[in-house]
Amino acid sequence: MIQHLVDGILVGSFLSLGAIGLTMVMHILRFANFSHAELLSIGAYCALVFDKLFESVLPVLSTKFGPLSITGALAVSILISMAVTGFTAVLIDRLIFRRVRQKGGELSMVFASFGMALVIRNIIGLVFGLSSELYSRDIAFAMVLSRDPLLLVKPDQVFVLFAALIIMFGLYLVLSRTTFGFSLRAIAENPSLAQVHGVNLRRMVAAVWIIGGALGAIAGVFYGLSYQITPVMGRDLVLPIFAATIVGGIGSVYGAVLGGFIVGVASNLAPVVLPSGYSPSVPFLMILAVLLVRPNGLFGEARA
Amino acid sequence: MKTLLTVAAFAAGVSALSTGAQAQDCTTKIGATLPTSVDWGRPIAEVAQFAVDQVNEAGGAAGCQIEMVLRDTQVDPKVGVDAAKALVDLEGVNVLLGAVSSGVSMPILSSVTVPGGVMQMSCCSSSTAFTKLSEEGKTDGLWFRTFATTAVQSAMGAKVAADKGYGSIAILYKNDDWGQDMARLIAADFAAAGIKVTSSVAVNDGQPSYRAEVTKALGGEPEALYLALYPNEGTSAVREWLSLGGTQNMILANSLKSDEFRDNVGLQYLGNALGTDTASPRVASADAFKTTYVEKFGSEPNGPGLANSFDAAMIALLAMEAAGKDASGKDIAASVAKVTDPDGTPVTADVAGFKKASETLAGGGTVKYQGATGDVRFDANGDVSAPAVVWKFTDSGVDEVEYLSLGEVDAFIASLKK
Asked if A275 has any chain B CB less than 8 Å from its own CB, the reply is: yes
CB < 8 Å from A in window 260-319 of B? 260, 263-266, 269
- pLDDT of residue A56 exceeding 70, the answer is yes
Question: Has residue A158 been placed in a domain?
Answer: yes
pLDDT value of residue B20:
44
Question: Has residue A85 been placed in a domain?
Answer: yes
Please report which confidence band the pLDDT of residue B251 belongs to, taking 50, 70 and 90 as the band edges. Answer: very high
pLDDT value of residue A63:
78
Span A5-29, average pLDDT: 88
Span A77-84, average pLDDT: 95
Span B22-40, average pLDDT: 83
User: Measured between CB atoms, which of B202, B206, B231 is closest to A276?
Assistant: B202
Neighbours of B57 (CB within 10 A): 12
Each residue of A213-258: pLDDT tens digit? 999 999 999 998 888 898 888 888 898 999 999 988 888 888 899 9
Whether residues A142 and B245 touch (CB distance < 8 A) is answered with: yes
Question: Has residue A185 been placed in a domain?
Answer: yes
Span B248-257, average pLDDT: 90
Secondary structure (3-state) at B37: coil
pLDDT value of residue A303:
60
Query: Which residues of chain A make contact with B212, given a CB cutoff of 8 A?
Result: 4, 7-8, 267-272, 276, 279
Asked if A103 has any chain B CB less than 8 Å from its own CB, the reply is: no
Question: Has residue A301 been placed in a domain?
Answer: no
Query: Which residues of chain A make contact with B211, given a CB cutoff of 8 A?
Result: 7, 11, 268
Asked if A263 has any chain B CB less than 8 Å from its own CB, the reply is: no
Please report which confidence band the pLDDT of residue B24 belongs to, taking 50, 70 and 90 as the band edges. Answer: low
Asked if A152 has any chain B CB less than 8 Å from its own CB, the reply is: yes
pLDDT value of residue A65:
77
pLDDT value of residue A198:
86
Distances (CA, A) of B381 to B138, B151, B277, B281, B337: 10, 13, 22, 22, 12
Span B259-275, average pLDDT: 89
Asked if A1 has any chain B CB less than 8 Å from its own CB, the reply is: no
pLDDT value of residue B392:
92
Neighbours of A12 (CB within 10 A): 27
pLDDT value of residue A147:
72
Structural domain boundaries, residue A187: 2-293
- pLDDT of residue A302 exceeding 90, the answer is no
pLDDT value of residue A273:
82
Asked if A270 has any chain B CB less than 8 Å from its own CB, the reply is: yes
- pLDDT of residue B136 exceeding 80, the answer is yes
Span A106-114, average pLDDT: 89
Chain centre to alpha carbon of residue B170:
28
Question: Has residue A303 been placed in a domain?
Answer: no
Asked if B243 has any chain A CB less than 8 Å from its own CB, the reply is: yes
Side-chain-facing half-sphere of A235: CA atoms under 13 Å: 13
Q: Is the model more confident about B6 or about B204?
A: B204
Distance CA B130, CA B102 (A): 8
Whether residues A132 and B235 touch (CB distance < 8 A) is answered with: yes
Burial of A193 (0-12, 13-18, 19+ CB in 10 A): exposed
Whether residues A228 and B235 touch (CB distance < 8 A) is answered with: yes
User: Measured between CB atoms, which of B206, B211, B264 is closest to A134?
Assistant: B264
Q: Kindly list the structural domains of chain B, giving each domain's residue range(s) and its CATH number in brackets, ordered by start.
A: 25-147+305-375 (3.40.50.2300), 151-279+387-417 (3.40.50.2300)
Please report which confidence band the pLDDT of residue B1 belongs to, taking 50, 70 and 90 as the band edges. Answer: very low
pLDDT value of residue B3:
52
B7-16, B28-37, B298-307, B366-375, range with the lowest pLDDT: B7-16
- For the sheet with B168-174, list strands across it: B196-203, B168-174, B224-228, B250-252, B273-278, B388-393, B398-404
Cis check for the bond before B281: say yes or no (omega within 30 of 0). no
Chain centre to alpha carbon of residue B374:
12
Chain centre to alpha carbon of residue B21:
31
Q: Where residue A170 sits, what CATH number does that domain have?
A: 1.10.3470
Question: Has residue A302 been placed in a domain?
Answer: no
- pLDDT of residue B323 exceeding 50, the answer is yes
Distance CA B91, CA B93 (A): 6
Please report which confidence band the pLDDT of residue A64 belongs to, taking 50, 70 and 90 as the band edges. Answer: confident
Whether residues A137 and B263 touch (CB distance < 8 A) is answered with: yes
User: Measured between CB atoms, which of B203, B232, B244 is closest to A132?
Assistant: B232
Query: Which residues of chain A make contact with B235, given a CB cutoff of 8 A?
Result: 132, 228
pLDDT value of residue A192:
85
Enter the ipTM: 0.78
User: Measured between CB atoms, which of B206, B213, B235 is closest to A236?
Assistant: B206
pLDDT value of residue B22:
47
Beta bridge partners of B374: B371
pLDDT value of residue B23:
46
- pLDDT of residue B201 exceeding 60, the answer is yes
Chain B residue with CA closest to A282: the answer is B207
Query: Which residues of chain B make contact with A37, given a CB cutoff of 8 A?
Result: none
Whether residues A7 and B232 touch (CB distance < 8 A) is answered with: no
Structural domains of chain A, count? 1
A&B contacts, CB < 8 Å: 96
User: Measured between CB atoms, which of B245, B264, B265 is closest to A152?
Assistant: B245
